[in-house]
Amino acid sequence: MDERSTAELLGVPEGVVKSRLNRARSSFRKAWTR
């Protein structure tokens, strides 16, 4: 699912989706490298 579809589904702006995805990826990366 792309960011635009996710934003529409959640009812939030596309920028919010991108921000949350970026934060989630960063968090996952930190947990994975421990």
pTM for the predicted model, two decimal places:
0.76
What's the pLDDT at 34?
A: 80
pLDDT of residue 2: 94
> Is there a contact between 14 and 7 (Cβ–Cβ < 8 Å)?
yes
Residue positions counted in the chain? 34
The one-letter amino acid code at 6 reads T
Check residue 34 and report its DSSP letter.
Answer: -
SS (H, E, C) 5-26: HHHHHHCCCHHHHHHHHHHHHH
Q: Where are the domains of the chain?
A: 3-33
CB 5 within 8 A of CB 12: no
pLDDT tens for 1-34 read: 999 999 999 999 999 999 999 999 999 999 999 8
